[in-house]
Structure 1
Amino acid sequence: MSRHSGLAERVGTPLYVYDLDRLEAARRDLFAALPDGFDVFYALKANPHPEIARALREGDGPACRAEVSSAGELSAALEAGFPADECLYTGPGKTGPELRGAIARGVRLFSVESLGDLRHIGAAATAAKVVTRCLLRINSAHAEATSSIRMTGVPTQFGIDAETLPDVLPRLREVAGTRIVGAHFFPLSNAADEDSLIAAFENTLAVAAGLRRDHGLPLELLDIGGGFAVPYGTPGRRAAYPKLKSALRDALDRHFPDPTDRPRLACESGRYLVGDSGSLHCSVVNIKESRGRTFVILDAGINTFGGMSGLGRLLPVAVEPQSQDGDDPAGPPRPAAQTASLVGPLCTPGDVLGRRVELPDLAEGDLVTVPNAGAYGPTASLLGFLGRPAPAEALVRGEELVSLTRLEQRRVDESGPL
């Protein structure tokens, strides 16, 4: 049984449980791995629950800032208490209405993906009679990390190709309602190891320093991106980065040797901050055999833990080893008794959470736990498919239940003449 099995039995499943103590430990660990003076933007796309975001802003130690990419995420950030003028608004498809709304609510810092994107920001700012601060997102020509999810060095909707910046920078500087104050990089996601992460960050610092030196790119603020890793939906621990702080200090000394002329540094993280704080508890609905294969059917599927499933999410999800000693997490794990596919309740063969998963001996009604499920959970899933209710989300601190919520979808009837 898992630590939160009693809560799952009381509330029902599927149930996400987010442990605020783990959340705050991740924040402490990330700030401790970085040189002093770094800003950390929390990417709300990983988990926009306002209480999750609030916990990353409050409490002991340095506070995170918010990175948002939609009006909904901005609302969650503001509800969590983040000042609007300290939020970073990102994304390649910012529309006129959302830009006007964000500026009206006080957002002044934007990441820019292209000249057209900057012009849209400028038009909204000019209409509001304000000037926005803008970071140019740079798509570097080369990517250092080859074993992680590459986010740069390839044709993409994200960022301005670095080789084109000398030609486009004069036009970028001329856009009314905007002031270029720095650069934004995001070279990789979920780095395979610490060396990959360090190589990516060192390359980013070198590219940024070269663009400033050779082409006059303003660098008041430099966001070097993320890539901090944590397992997703499988047992394991958050990555540790014992070499990162000294490696970044050395790279800054090489590329920005004058501390008085050094940009303010920032990075961003979503999954690392929240991933291991969450667990998904679900119930076994049925177990069946089909042509020599076993299928364990759960009440949670890709509508509950889709995690970018429609975008080719990597399988398999695995369950947390169950203890033989009740709720004692130190008890010996129950050995695997079978290999089966974990599938959900939806009427589609695509509703598969994991294939060839090693499982204990399970029966109908048993609870199983998917660990490291704090990032890319309900809001990254197919919540509306087949009209099933969203899973409940519980926040706990120690043995205290802090809040219990559930997302709801509602149709808005605005019938009338066209």
Structure 2
Amino acid sequence: MNLTDDQLLSLIRSHRTPFFLYDGDALCSHVSSILARLHPAVKLHYALKANGNVSIAALLRSLGCGAEIASSGELYTALKAGYEPEDIIFAGPGKTESELNEAAETGIGCINVESVRELRLLEKAAERSGVRVRAAVRINPDADVSGATIKMGGAARPFGVDESQLDVFFAALRECGHIQFQGIQIYTGTQMLKAEEIIGSFANTIRLAGEIGEKYSLPIHSINLGGGFGIPYFAHEQPLDMDQVLQHLNRLAAEAVQRMPGVRLIIESGRYLVACSGMYMTKVLYTKTSKGERFAVTDGGMNHYASAAFRGRRLRDNFPVKVFSAHKKQQDVDHAEEAGQQEEEVTVVGPLCTPEDCLVRKAKLPLIREDDYIGIPNAGAYGLSYSPVDFLGHPAPAELLAAGGQVYVIREHGNRTDALRHQRLIVPKTLQQI
């Protein structure tokens, strides 16, 4: 995020909290830099699961990204964002018959098939629609060489077809007259920060694709390398050397095109593309002391940004935070922090009645007072899309996009009536008390 603290504080005072803020200028610069350095045979697809806001998806489409979706809802969002069907890839282990029918009828670029059962369902959907459907097989490799923090392959997983079961899969594929085989996908994990491990995983995937093409006498049109590019959330983590990744990826792409003319390589990314351009902002309602421990209670928490609240995380450590004072200029707060003055150990919690609603646990922060603001950077990915927004009926936060000196509301604040969305008030007479 390139916005200065003074710009952020001015923006905060102009909009009701809680909200997510995305720096569109920083996002465009970051993604454009990656796209400009890719080999022509490599296509970058944005994973909507990281941030499903239609404006963010449309912005990435305008830069040249394809879309990777994992549900009918994300397919709808991608189409509304302006993606052409052929630029959309459908992934995920639990696709329903209805979703497969819709994907087949829409004519999307590729469906990554994750089991023999799903392959047969897709064949029925294609036959019913009277079309030939482009599909690839997602493979769960025998070995994990990714070094991923969150592993999605190389062991017993619901994702993909085990490498040892490929004979069964391709035997079933030969019976499918409406499937146009594209190639393979391997996605072994996410939040990877070591370039050499990512490169090793990519090289292994390309090698396996070549072997599959030869063994089963199939042309390989696409090789989906996955992604999993990580960002550092904690002090002990080092940023991913993306220059090294892209340099070796381009070398691998050139070699792959020589061996398999016309082949397209695909990389997928959500977190790495959008995380660093976002910040979650919440307001301090009041502070209190309980049994000697200081607390700051805010108007937003786990229901909006579950990742920051330790839920589902292996590392039980605080995300970085910024304190924006409502009582003095931000530079005064920064100066005091640098000088080690006016600090306290404080736990920052949200408004939910659960001990899990903890955004920051016992951290040394500048002195926090009522009406100050807490900002959590790197919140552009897996914020709202990953959080239990309906829990306890608090309204959903707004989403703001800052670009070109303007601030756009790309999601309105929710309201209390949202708690009854899609519900029906019915009390059967047989159950009513007399």
TM-score normalised by the chain length of structure 1: 0.89
Counterpart in 2 of 1:17?
21
Query: 8 Å contact 1:307–1:313 — kept in the other structure?
Result: no
1:53 aligned residue (47, 50, 57):
57
C-alpha spacing 1:321/1:8, structure 2 compared with 1 (3 Å): closer
| Secondary structure of 2:243 counterpart | coil
Deviates more, 1:179-188 or 1:5-14: 5-14
Residue in structure 2 matched with residue 143 of structure 1 by the alignment = 144
In the other structure, the counterpart of 1:275 is 275
Tell me by how many angstroms 1:373 deviates: 0.3
| Structure 1 pair 414–221 and aligned structure 2 pair: CA distance change class (3 A) | farther
Asked whether the 8 Å contact 1:282–1:298 carries over to 2, the reply is yes
Q: Write the distance in 1 (CA, Å) between the matches of 2:268 and 2:20.
A: 24
Separation (CA, whole Å) in 2 of partners of 1:330 and 1:288: 21
Matched, 1:258 2:264: no
Q: Deviations over 1:65-109 (max 9, x none)?
A: 011111111111111100123211111111112222333334352
Q: Which residue does the alignment assign to 1:212?
A: 213
CA contact (8 A) 2:323 2:372 kept: no
For residues 95 and 247 of structure 1, the distance between their equivalents in structure 2, rounded to whole angstroms, comes to: 37
Report the secondary structure of 1:261's partner residue. Answer: coil
Paired residues of 2:183 and 2:209 also in contact (CA < 8 A): no
Q: Is the 8 A contact 2:148 2:189 kept in 1?
A: no
One-letter amino acid of the structure 2 residue matched with residue 354 of structure 1: V
Distance 1:252 1:54, change over 3 A: closer
What's the CA shift for 1:292?
3.2
Residues 1:411 and 2:414 aligned together: no
Match of 2:40 in 1: 36
TM alignment of 1:80-95, pairs within 5 A: 80-95=81-96
Per-residue CA distance 1:378-412 (angstroms, 9 max, x = gap) = 12111000000000101110420133423654224
What do residues 21-49 of structure 1 show as CA deviations (whole Å, max 9, x unaligned)? Answer: 11112212322453333101100000011
CA contact (8 A) 1:68 1:89 kept: yes
Q: Which of 316-325 and 173-182 deviates more?
A: 316-325
Residue ranges of structure 2 left out of the alignment (5+ in a row): 429-434
Letter in 2 for 1:224: L
> What corresponds to 2:358 in structure 1?
352
Offset from partner CA, 1:338-389 (integer Å, 9 cap, x none): 2322211101111112323231111011012110100011121110000000
Letter of the structure 2 residue corresponding to residue 383 of structure 1: V
**Equivalent-residue separation in structure 2 for 1:400 and 1:245 (angstroms):** 33
1:334 is matched with 337
Going by fraction, where is helix more abundant, 1 or 2? 2
**Which structure's CA Rg is the greater one?**
2
Q: Distance in 2 between matches of 1:105 and 1:234?
A: 45
SS in 1 for 2:400: strand
1:385 equivalent in alignment to 2:391 = yes
In structure 1, the residue matched to 2:319 is 317
Alpha-carbon deviations, 1:225-262, whole Å to 9, x = none? 002122459899964412223322444566x3725625
The answer on 1:154 being equivalent to 2:160 is no
Structure 1 residues 57, 321: CA separation in 2 closer, same or farther (over 3 Å shift)? same
Root-mean-square deviation (CA, aligned residues, Å) is 2.9
Work out the CA distance in 2 between the residues paired with 1:181 and 1:383.
Answer: 38
User: 2:199–2:248: 8 Å Cα contact kept in structure 1?
Assistant: yes
**3-state SS, counterpart of residue 50 of structure 2:** coil
Residues paired across the two proteins, number: 413
Following the alignment from structure 2 to structure 1, what is the Cα–Cα distance between the partners of residues 391 and 157? 29
Q: What's the CA shift for 1:330? A: 13
Instruction: Supply the AA of the counterpart residue of 1:283.
Output: K
Conserved 8 A contact 2:333-2:366: no
Q: Is residue 127 of structure 1 aligned with residue 128 of structure 2?
A: yes
| CA 1:176–1:199: 2 relative to 1, 3 Å | same
Letter in 2 for 1:317: F
Task: State the 1:282 CA deviation.
Answer: 0.8
Match of residue 396 from structure 1 = 402
Alpha-carbon contact 1:89-1:110 (below 8 Å) kept: yes
Q: Distance in 2 between matches of 1:327 and 1:212?
A: 60
Secondary structure at 2:379's aligned position in 1?
A: coil
Q: Decide whether aligned partners of structure 1 residues 64 and 310 sit closer, same or farther in structure 2, where only a CA change above 3 A counts.
A: same
- SS state of the match for residue 29, structure 2? helix
Cα distance change of structure 1 residues 159 and 260 upon mapping to structure 2, 3 Å threshold: closer
User: Sequence identity, in percent?
Assistant: 32
